[in-house]
Amino acid sequence: MPYYPQASLAERVMRNLRAVLKIFHNQSQRMWDNKLHYLAFAFNSACHESTKMCPSKLFLGRGLNTPLENVGDLTEVLVSSEEERTKFWMEAIRNLNMARNRVAKRYDVGRKEARYKVGDTVVCQMRTLSSEGKGVAQKLELKWSKPMLIVKFLKPSVVQLAVAESGVLARKAHVSQLKRYYLSVG
């Protein structure tokens, strides 16, 4: 199956932030929360691998100024033409696409594409959340659905499924959530 990104950039940032907070808290367990502004500055001024730019540059159109940089004239930093802003955003988008392609290429090495067609019997991955109020424990729930039929392709990688026994339309699913169903004879 080809690369199918499921995690967002926000999840990646949160994972990095969690790791840095653990280190930050471990170094100074009594005063760590008094110095969070240093951590925020570091995160907002650090260059990201995907965009090759820092978040402050993406959202403000300029990098963050350190106290020493605030001594000079700010007019040349704040003035930029529409053409420069457009060029800047096009470069950021190009960098993101290159990063995505790089990850996809690594992911796709040695992968075999699962080919499905209309009429195939499959099972679909279930994603159940635990709920104490409903008495549902995720770890005890089934991981795969009952057998379903692929009724049609909505997109090249999204299918419409129907319950195999009744033919009633059940749900849409991405092909990465499917697995062939083989009836065991015996």
* Structural tokens at position 92: 């950021």
Could you give the angle at the alpha carbon of 133 between the alpha carbons of 132 and 139, nearest 5°? 30
Answer yes or no: are the C-beta atoms of 148 and 123 closer than 8 Å: yes
Is a pLDDT exceeding 80 seen at residue 140?
Answer: no
Residues 49-91 have pLDDT tens digits of 777 888 888 877 777 777 666 666 555 555 567 788 788 888 8
pLDDT on residue 97: 87
How far is CA 182 from its chain centroid?
32
pLDDT computed for residue 121 by the predictor: 93
Over residues 90-102, mean pLDDT: 87
Task: Quote the pLDDT of residue 70.
Answer: 61
Domains and CATH numbers, the chain: 9-108 (no CATH), 121-180 (2.30.30)
Predicted pLDDT at 8: 66
Averaged pLDDT, 134-157: 84
Positive or negative, the Cα torsion across 49, 53, 55, 59? negative
Give the pLDDT score at 122: 94
CA 2/CA 135 separation, integer angstroms? 37
Q: Quick one: tokens of 19? A: 């790791």
Per-residue model confidence as pLDDT tens digits over 12-52: 778 878 887 777 777 666 777 787 888 888 878 888 777 78
Give, in order, the Cα–Cα distances in Å from 92 to each of 5, 57, 59, 124: 19, 10, 12, 37
pLDDT on residue 93: 87
Higher pLDDT, 66 or 168: 168
CA-to-CA distance for 68 and 50, rounded, in angstroms?
29
State residue 4's pLDDT score. Answer: 59
As a whole number, mean pLDDT of residues 111-129 equals: 84
| Average model confidence (pLDDT) across the chain | 79
CA atoms within 13 A on the CB side of 133: 1
- What burial letters (b/e) apply to 81-115, b meaning 16+ CB within 10 Å? eeeeeeebeeebeebbeebeeeeeeeeeeeeeeee
H-state helical runs in the chain:
9-27, 36-45, 55-60, 75-78, 82-108
**pLDDT score at 159:** 92
